[in-house]
Structure 1
Amino acid sequence: MNEPVRVVIVDDHAMFRAGVRAELASAGAGRVDVVAEAADVDQAVAAIGSHQPDVVLLDVHLPGGGGVEVMRRLSLAPPPSASASTPRFLALSVSDAAEDVIGTIRGGARGYVTKTITGTELVDAIARVSEGDAVFSPRLAGFVLDAFAGSIDVAAVDEDLDRLTEREREVMRLIARGYAYKEVAKELFISVKTVETHMSSVLRKLQLSSRHELTRWANDRRLL
């Protein structure tokens, strides 16, 4: 019988990590073994170096620099031993924006799936990534193909988004998709007042005046 795939879960929301661990225990019994969790970049680098997992489930937006920073720092660190294997990274994120998908794959991830994935699908994705396959949620594969075909101007999108913090980007995408402030607050585990503050900042930085303009701006850049 094959050994279970050793996994580290990296996400800054403790409740989400607990949910993923429970799903993997239920749907992936005997196939997946969660060996550690981490909530930010520093914890992730330490946990991966210590536990040497086969696959890292990596959120895109993390305190300390994000998922790409985790991969960058690990690529620069010396291996803990000559026999140590390099883990494979599978992004698991609420974001399905083109620039997040493309940037994460360019950073070294082998796949990218969204948090709407089922437990069974996630176990299958982990198994495939551990074997070297590239795995994407269906809609996201098109972003990667478009980027390499040159039909998405990633540099221009990045320049606009560089004005926003990671949390502002998350609020921006949800508001642009039509979420109410209360729904955004629930989704991101923040207060409605904080959502309002971030929204005001987003509109100011992007020089927009309304939700309608924000939706059109995001749609034009394929961020929805």
Structure 2
Amino acid sequence: MTQETPDETAGTADGPGQVRVVLVDDHRMFRAGVQAEIGRTEETGVDVVGEAGDVEQAVTVITATRPDVVLLDVHLPGGGGVEVLRRSASLMGAADSPVRFLALSVSDAAEDVIGVIRGGARGYVTKTITGTDLVGAVFRVADGDAVFSPRLAGFVLDAFASTDAPPVDEDLDRLTQREREVLRLIARGYAYKEVGKQLFISVKTVESHVSAVLRKLQLSNRHELTRWAAARRLV
């Protein structure tokens, strides 16, 4: 597939080469950063028409504005990105101008990628993406293309190539999405401060999540946690 520039992309109701976008992320500062990076409409062709910080807000804003593309975080209060996809689809149905979703997340875990793609997202990029590349991804998704960060496409191909349903891991299912995110980073050797920086949360919050993970998995320390995660190929 070829990568298109904004000028080559089909126009929207707002004018040629312009894409209307809604930002969905539970970190206000991150939304502000993305807005500052890609929301300079005259330069980028991206018009940010709304923002939301949780599932309820997201569904309300998306159904009210009917954007071309939603930049959607995977982990959100109220049920996560998959819940936004499900509820938006049920409320909007088959619209003449479909809303397309591009996941934008700190997580590069296979289950997160596969979950939102099965839910209806057109692509998945991580938050390490540059502003220029993110603008390009937005336009490609608006045009109906599928966009993935390097290596993430392999997760999707493997998942959809298999006819067998993935095995259920009851231990992993006990953890919330945020706890899984913290688990992976701790298992990779990140210090609490580094985890907090990666996830935009405080060290105290990281400690609380680690304690919850250890309790739910009946583990004693981070060394046991690392072995547990490695055995399940989560790191």
* Equivalent of residue 218 in structure 2, options 197, 207, 211: 207
- State the match for 2:126 in structure 1: 114
Contiguous gaps of at least 5 residues in structure 2: 1-6, 8-15
Q: Does 1:44 align with 2:58?
A: yes
The structural deviation recorded for 1:146 is 1.7
* Equivalent of residue 156 in structure 1, options 168, 171, 183: 168
- State the match for 1:188 in structure 2: 199
The structural deviation recorded for 1:203 is 1.6
Q: 1:27 to 1:93 in 2, by over 3 A?
A: farther
- State the match for 2:110 in structure 1: 98
Which deviates more, 59-68 or 171-180? 171-180
1:138-163 Cα shifts (integer Å, max 9, x gaps): 11111111212339963334x33220
The 8 Å contact of residues 173 and 218 in structure 1, kept in 2 or not, is answered as yes
Q: Does 1:173 align with 2:184?
A: yes
The structural deviation recorded for 1:171 is 1.4
CA distance in 2, matches of 1:97, 1:35: 29
- State the match for 2:73 in structure 1: 59
Which deviates more, 212-221 or 63-72? 212-221
Task: Report the residue type matching 2:28 in the other structure.
Answer: A
Q: What is the DSSP-based 3-state SS (H/G/I as helix, E as strand, rest coil) of the residue aligned with 2:185?
A: helix
Q: What is the DSSP-based 3-state SS (H/G/I as helix, E as strand, rest coil) of the residue aligned with 1:34?
A: strand
Task: Report the residue type matching 1:18 in the other structure.
Answer: A
1:12-34 Cα shifts (integer Å, max 9, x gaps): 00000011111103598242111
TM-score, length basis structure 1: 0.89
Q: Does 1:129 align with 2:152?
A: no
1:186-219 Cα shifts (integer Å, max 9, x gaps): 3333332332222122122123333233223323
- State the match for 1:7 in structure 2: 21
Superposed structure 1 runs of 4+ greater than 6 Å apart: none
Q: What is the DSSP-based 3-state SS (H/G/I as helix, E as strand, rest coil) of the residue aligned with 2:71?
A: strand
Superposed CA RMSD? 2.3
The 8 Å contact of residues 99 and 223 in structure 1, kept in 2 or not, is answered as no
* Equivalent of residue 86 in structure 2, options 53, 72, 90: 72
The 8 Å contact of residues 27 and 120 in structure 1, kept in 2 or not, is answered as no
The 8 Å contact of residues 54 and 77 in structure 2, kept in 1 or not, is answered as yes
- State the match for 1:21 in structure 2: 35
The 8 Å contact of residues 63 and 91 in structure 2, kept in 1 or not, is answered as no
The 8 Å contact of residues 146 and 152 in structure 1, kept in 2 or not, is answered as no
Q: How many positions carry a matched residue from both structures?
A: 221
The 8 Å contact of residues 182 and 209 in structure 2, kept in 1 or not, is answered as yes
Q: What is the DSSP-based 3-state SS (H/G/I as helix, E as strand, rest coil) of the residue aligned with 1:156?
A: coil
The 8 Å contact of residues 44 and 135 in structure 2, kept in 1 or not, is answered as no
The structural deviation recorded for 1:85 is 1.9
1:106-143 Cα shifts (integer Å, max 9, x gaps): 01000000000000110111111111111111111111
Contiguous gaps of at least 5 residues in structure 1: none
